[in-house]
Structure 1
Amino acid sequence: MTIDDPFVPTTSGRPADADGLRPVPRIAIQAFCETPEVADVLEQAAADRRMAKAHVKVHQGGVAAALDFYVAAPTPNLLFVETRERREQVLEQVDQLASVCDAGTKVVLIGHHNDVALYRDLMRRGVSEYMVAPFDLYDVIREIGEIYLSPDVKPVGRTIAFIGARGGAGSSTVAHNVAFSLSRGFDGGVVLADLDLPFGTASLDFNQEPPQTLADALAAGDRVDDVFLDRLLSKCADNLSLLAAPATLDRAFDHDEMAFDPILEAARVGAPAVILDLPHLWTGWVRRLLGAADDVVITAMPDLASLRNAKNLIDQLKIARPNDEAPRLVINQVGLPKRPEIKPADFQKALQLDPAAVIPFDAALFGTATNNGQMIAEINARSPVAQMFDALAARLTGRSVARSGRKSALMPLLARLPRLKAH
Structure 2
Amino acid sequence: MTNLAYETDLPESDHDAAALRALRPIPRISIQAFCETEGVAGPITRASEDRRMAKAHLKVHMGGIATALDLYHTAPTPNLIILESRQEPRELIASLRQLADVCDPSTKVVVVGHYNDVWLYRELIRSGISEYVVAPISMADMLAVISGIFVDPGAAPLGRSIAFIGAKGGVGSSTMAHNLGWAISTLFASETVVADMDLAFGTANIDFDQDPAQGIAEAVFAPERIDEVYLDRLLAQCADKLSLLAAPSTLERTYDFEPDAFQQIIDTAQRSAPMLVLDLPHTWNGWTKTTLMQADEVVITASPELANLRNTKNLVDTLRTLRPNDAAPKLILNQAGMPKRPEISPSDFAEPLDLTPLAVIPFDPQFFGTASNNGRMLGEMDAKHATVQILNDIAHILTGRSEIRPRKRAGLADLLGRLKSAKR
* Same topology, TM > 0.5: yes
Q: Distance in 1 between matches of 2:224 and 2:217?
A: 14
Q: Which residue in 2 is equivalent to 1:289?
A: 291
What is the CA-CA distance between 1:220 and the residue it aligns to?
1.9
Q: Which residue in 2 is equivalent to 1:388?
A: 390
- Retained in 2: the 8 A contact 1:195–1:279? yes
Q: Which residue in 1 is equivalent to 2:185?
A: 183
Q: Which of 304, 310, 313 in structure 1 is aligned with 2:312?
A: 310
Q: Which residue in 1 is equivalent to 2:230?
A: 228
2:208 is the alignment partner of 1:206: yes
TM-score, normalised by the number of residues in structure 2: 0.58
Q: Distance in 1 between matches of 2:349 and 2:403?
A: 24
Q: Distance in 1 between matches of 2:346 and 2:403?
A: 23
Q: Which of 260, 266, 276 in structure 2 is aligned with 1:258?
A: 260
- Percent of aligned positions that are identical: 54
Letter in 1 for 2:319: L
Q: Distance in 1 between matches of 2:394 and 2:369?
A: 21
Q: Distance in 2 between matches of 1:231 and 1:308?
A: 41
Q: Distance in 2 between matches of 1:220 and 1:204?
A: 25
What is the CA-CA distance between 1:222 and the residue it aligns to?
3.2
List gaps (5 residues or longer) in structure 1: 1-148, 403-423
Secondary structure of the 1:387 match is helix
List gaps (5 residues or longer) in structure 2: 1-150, 405-424
Letter in 2 for 1:399: R
Q: Distance in 2 between matches of 1:361 and 1:163?
A: 19
Q: Which of 217, 220, 242 in structure 2 is aligned with 1:218?
A: 220
Q: Distance in 1 between matches of 2:198 and 2:378?
A: 21
Q: Which residue in 2 is equivalent to 1:377?
A: 379
Q: Which residue in 2 is equivalent to 1:174?
A: 176
Q: Which residue in 1 is equivalent to 2:20?
A: none
What is the CA-CA distance between 1:213 and the residue it aligns to?
1.2
Q: Which of 355, 358, 362 in structure 1 is aligned with 2:357?
A: 355
- Retained in 1: the 8 A contact 2:195–2:277? yes
Q: Which residue in 1 is equivalent to 2:167?
A: 165
Q: Which residue in 2 is equivalent to 1:277?
A: 279
Q: Which of 212, 237, 240 in structure 1 is aligned with 2:239?
A: 237
What is the CA-CA distance between 1:154 and the residue it aligns to?
6.2
Q: Which residue in 1 is equivalent to 2:323?
A: 321
- Retained in 1: the 8 A contact 2:191–2:241? yes
- Retained in 1: the 8 A contact 2:184–2:190? no
Q: Deviations over 1:85-133 (max 9, x none)?
A: xxxxxxxxxxxxxxxxxxxxxxxxxxxxxxxxxxxxxxxxxxxxxxxxx
Alignment of 1:55-134 (within 5 A): none
Q: Distance in 2 between matches of 1:209 and 1:150?
A: 38
Q: Distance in 1 between matches of 2:273 and 2:267?
A: 10
Secondary structure of the 2:290 match is helix
What is the CA-CA distance between 1:156 and the residue it aligns to?
2.1
Letter in 2 for 1:303: E
What is the CA-CA distance between 1:401 and the residue it aligns to?
5.0
Secondary structure of the 1:355 match is coil
- Retained in 2: the 8 A contact 1:192–1:275? yes
Distance 1:269 1:287, change over 3 A: same
Q: Which residue in 1 is equivalent to 2:196?
A: 194
Q: Tell me how large the CA RMSD over aligned residues is.
A: 1.6
- Retained in 2: the 8 A contact 1:222–1:262? no
What is the CA-CA distance between 1:255 and the residue it aligns to?
0.7
Secondary structure of the 1:192 match is strand
What is the CA-CA distance between 1:165 and the residue it aligns to?
0.3
What is the CA-CA distance between 1:153 and the residue it aligns to?
2.7
Q: Distance in 2 between matches of 1:324 and 1:340?
A: 34
- Retained in 2: the 8 A contact 1:155–1:265? no
What is the CA-CA distance between 1:347 and the residue it aligns to?
1.0
Secondary structure of the 1:347 match is helix
What is the CA-CA distance between 1:289 and the residue it aligns to?
0.4
- Retained in 2: the 8 A contact 1:193–1:243? yes
Q: Which has the higher contact order (CA 8 A, sep 6+)?
A: 1
What is the CA-CA distance between 1:151 and the residue it aligns to?
8.7
Distance 1:306 1:230, change over 3 A: same
TM-score, normalised by the number of residues in structure 1: 0.59
Q: Deviations over 1:307-353 (max 9, x none)?
A: 00000000000111001011110000001111110110101112111
What is the CA-CA distance between 1:299 and the residue it aligns to?
0.2
Q: Which residue in 1 is equivalent to 2:402?
A: 400
